[in-house]
């Protein structure tokens, strides 16, 4: 997937959806002391280079980083920092979301180039094509309050 100069924008409206629906993105909890767990909010980002220009693949893992949110106005600086280049790069973010309410939740993603979103292993948005700022919205996803649900986003 190609990321276009300075105009690229990856805005996972998940941040907005999380706030509006009472969801929280959390990573794995680690404990400083056995009875004093520390919650980590955000997602693990794995930054990959492509095997060839426009390949849209996950060829060589270049970096693993913690991303507290996925609302980037310009993803190029982050891609350059983690992979050494801003084009022909893919990212996979993983973690958990915990809803405050039980019921239907809708997710939206807007980005340059392709993206996919999974919730609890189910592909809810599949837009793995080379296009420009084309927002996609999932069908409603049933989530349970207080339960950690797996989330994966590929870009």
Sequential DSSP letters for 47-73: EEE-SSTT--S--EEEEEEEES--EES
How many separate domains does the chain show? 1
Q: Where would I find the H helices in 70-126?
A: 76-83
For the four alpha carbons of 75, 19, 130 and 95, in that order, the dihedral sign comes to positive
User: Residues 101-140: pLDDT tens digits?
Assistant: 999 999 999 988 899 999 999 999 999 998 888 899 999 9
| Residue from 41, 142, 50 nearest 95 by CA | 41
H or E element in which residue 17 lies: helix 14-21
Q: What is the predicted pLDDT for the residue at 61? A: 98
Question: Is residue 141 one of the residues assigned to a domain?
Answer: yes
User: Residues 17-50: pLDDT tens digits?
Assistant: 343 334 445 544 433 445 666 777 899 999 999 9
Question: Is residue 103 one of the residues assigned to a domain?
Answer: yes
Using 50, 70 and 90 to split pLDDT, how confident is the model at 3? very low
For 53, the domain range is 10-26+37-154
Question: Which own/partner contact pairs does 63-66 have at CB distance under 8 Å and 24+ positions apart?
Answer: 66/27, 66/40, 66/42
Phi then psi for residue 20, to 5 deg, are: -70, -40
Question: Is residue 4 one of the residues assigned to a domain?
Answer: no
Question: Is residue 19 one of the residues assigned to a domain?
Answer: yes
**CATH code (residue 115):** 2.60.120.380
Sequence-distant (≥ 6) Cβ neighbours of residue 12 within 8 angstroms:
70, 71, 109, 110, 111, 153
Q: What is the pTM of this model?
A: 0.78
């Amino acid at each position: 997937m190609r990321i276009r100069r300075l105009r690229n924008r990856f805005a996972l409206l998940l941040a907005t959806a999380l706030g509006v629906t009472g969801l929280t993105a959390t990573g794995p909890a680690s404990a400083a002391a056995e009875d004093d767990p520390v919650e980590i909010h955000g997602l693990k980002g794995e930054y990959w280079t492509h095997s060839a220009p426009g390949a849209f693949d996950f060829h060589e893992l270049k970096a693993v980083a913690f991303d507290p949110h996925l609302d980037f106005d310009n993803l190029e600086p982050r891609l350059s920092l983690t992979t050494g280049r801003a084009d022909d790069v893919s990212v996979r973010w993983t973690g958990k979301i915990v809803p405050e309410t039980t019921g239907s939740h809708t997710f939206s993603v807007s980005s340059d180039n392709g993206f996919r979103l999974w919730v609890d292993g189910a592909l809810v948005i599949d837009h793995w094509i080379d296009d420009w700022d084309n927002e996609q919205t999932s069908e409603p996803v049933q989530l349970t309050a207080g339960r950690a649900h797996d989330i994966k986003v590929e870009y």
